[in-house]
Structure 1
Amino acid sequence: MAKVRLSGTVRGADDPHRSVRARLLYLLFDAGWDIYNSNGDQRITLGNIEKKITEAEAFVFTPGASLEDMFKAVSVFVGYQTLDKHLAGKPTVLLNSDRSWDPFFGVLSHLHKLGTIKQEFREFLLSADTPETVLTTLSAASQTGVPDAGREKLAHASSPLAVTDEPPPSDLLGNICVFCSATLEESSYLEDGENLGRLIAHHGFGCVSGAGKSGIMGAVVKGASQAGGWTGGSNVPHIIELEGLPEGLSSFWLRPDIYTRMEVMIQHSNAFVIMPGGAGTFQELLALMIFRQQGNPLMKDKPVVIYNRQNRAGIGFWDPLIDLLDGVCQPGEFVVATQLEDILPAIQSRLPQAISEAC
């Protein structure tokens, strides 16, 4: 029997979405689906999310979208984008009867207009307004499958067989992780990436990245390594086949999936910069905010700076995302910089005192 994974958490007898979820459960079960997480009590972590994805044949997201729900939904979409074999042919439907998913769709729509999301995301993350339309949408999508993401593997890309690990210099102040786009190739964005990499190296920090060769991701590594800085990065085999690996990495951590990749990057970093990016960068920032709110020790005393690059009309690259976070995050969980030169001072002023004094 086919298995569908349900998102969301049931928050007691007075949960306003309880009746909608109950109706959805009945319809799914009556239609022949086995249901994972029917009670909304299964905890998803970076360590187990790939397993949860692998064991299901479809995904349904319920009303009352939380940070964790949005993280899981964008994670599925990133999996589609990066041709994750565990997601092949598995449809995703979002029940948006309460419009709580609208800010999430707004971020993706904004990034699509900016060109960092190439796919028409609504063809991958299917929206429904009622439990009944979830069933019809899910049934149709199960027959037609998931659209082609329009990506091809590089002709000469291959996964490294060994993990190189040159330890950071003993006098390094710490590591700054940069989450950003590996597809954005506009020259001014690439220049920002190189400049940030140089600034990180010149200020005595190591640079951690997703180890992609192209876009801003490759530019950051280039800038840091050419400035003589230490650079570390993590990637996964199926993404390396799409994007390749940059030159100049001091340390590389090969991981089996994008979630353990994120985890090792967080473990090796003392601060985070969110540069212009796409769905993957959106996903990574949500992971940081979830860890922050859970009190995860991996995020203790680690500042997060969003580089909200302004265009000529004064519109910030991350405006919709910042609006979304303002509704679900507490003051101080992240800081916004609109100028590249403000990023390092914002980080230095928020690091633990011993590091700040060394700066």
Structure 2
Amino acid sequence: MGEIRSLCVYCGSSSRVDEIYQQAAHAMGTAIAERGMQLVYGGGRVGLMGIAADAALAAGGRVVGIIPEHLQSKEVGHQTLSELLVVDSMHTRKRMMVERSDAFIVLPGGLGTLDEAFEILTWRQLRLHDKPVVVLNTRGYWDPLLKLVEHLIDSGFARPEHRDLYTVVSEVEEVFAELARAPAPTVDPKEKWL
């Protein structure tokens, strides 16, 4: 893979979650910063989102948040980031997160995280990008989702090779080992996706 300088992290905005998920978010933010990478995320100051951002900032990292105006106006936006971009819609937010990232990490989260994860996987399936996607399966959090993907394949709605759209790891350190093994991109970065 070409040099990965900017990692997009998808994760939950809830603070009512087990401490192990909070620890994973903190470790992820710290690890990104310690490797001199930029963290790109949804711009929130709450839940795992805020924990990952704060950890990266505390470790001297650069953090870019992209948040829709309707969430910023509810004072959910993180005001001490390296860069906070307030955009007009969720669609713009997701597009900009993709444009500003070299790879994607999926931490535990809720419906919004599922939305972002499936969209980025679908775009990869459609060859709109071929940036690595790594699922951090902390304490088996994503096991039901992985079982669902197997059901899709077994039922003929997805192909076995769709398993190759993402990699699953259980520890933060394994994320970076997977990124180091990622093949070089084959989709021309000059191609514009929708």
Q: Provide TM-score, normalisation by structure 2.
A: 0.82
Q: Is the CA contact (8 Å cut-off) linking 2:105 and 2:133 kept in structure 1? A: yes
Matched letter for residue 324 of structure 1 = L
Q: CA deviation at 1:190?
A: 1.9
Aligned to 2:191: none
Runs ≥4 in structure 1, deviation > 4 angstroms?
Answer: none
Q: Shift in Å at residue 342 of structure 1?
A: 1.2
1:215 maps to 47
Structure 1 residue 241: Cα displacement:
3.7
| CA positional deviation for 1:247 | 4.2
Quote the residue 1:143 is aligned against: none
Residue aligned with 1:232, SS: strand
- State yes or no: 1:238 paired with 2:70: yes
Residues in 2 aligned to 1:325 and 1:266: alpha-carbon distance in whole angstroms: 23
The answer to whether residue 122 in structure 2 is matched with residue 321 in structure 1 is: no
Unaligned runs of 5+ in 2: 186-194
1:184 is the counterpart of 2:15: yes
Query: Quick one: which amino acid aligns to residue 46 of structure 2?
Result: S
Deviation at 1:185, TM superposition (A): 3.8
3-state SS of the aligned residue for 1:249? Answer: coil
The answer to whether the 8 A contact 1:179-1:275 is kept is yes
Kindly report the root-mean-square deviation, in angstroms, between the aligned alpha carbons of the 2 structures: 1.9
Task: Pick one of 302, 309, 313 that aligns with 2:138.
Answer: 309
Distance 1:243 1:342 in 2: 34
Shift in Å at residue 323 of structure 1?
A: 2.2
**Identical-pair percentage:** 29
1:228 maps to 2:60: yes
Deviations 1:118-137 (A, max 9, x none): xxxxxxxxxxxxxxxxxxxx
Distance in structure 1 (CA, Å) of the matches to 2:144 and 2:170: 15
Does 2:25 align with 1:193? yes
Q: CA deviation at 1:184?
A: 3.4
Distance 1:179 1:270 in 2: 14
2:15 is matched by which residue type in structure 1? L
Indicate the SS of the match to 1:197: helix
How far residue 240 of structure 1 moved from its aligned partner, in angstroms, is 2.3
The question of whether the paired residues in 2 share the 8 Å contact of 1:232 and 1:252 is answered with yes
Aligned length: 174
Question: Tell me, what secondary structure is at the counterpart of 1:305?
Answer: strand
The reply on whether 1:287 has 2:111 as its aligned counterpart is no
Residue identity in the other structure for 2:39 = C
**Matched AA of 2:136:** Y
Q: Which has the larger radius of gyration?
A: 1
Matches within 5 A, 1:73-112: none
Q: Deviations over 1:318-346 (max 9, x none)?
A: 11212223422523200001122211211
Deviation at residue 209 of structure 1 after TM alignment: 0.5
CA distance in 1, matches of 2:72, 2:60: 25
Match of 2:168 in 1: 336
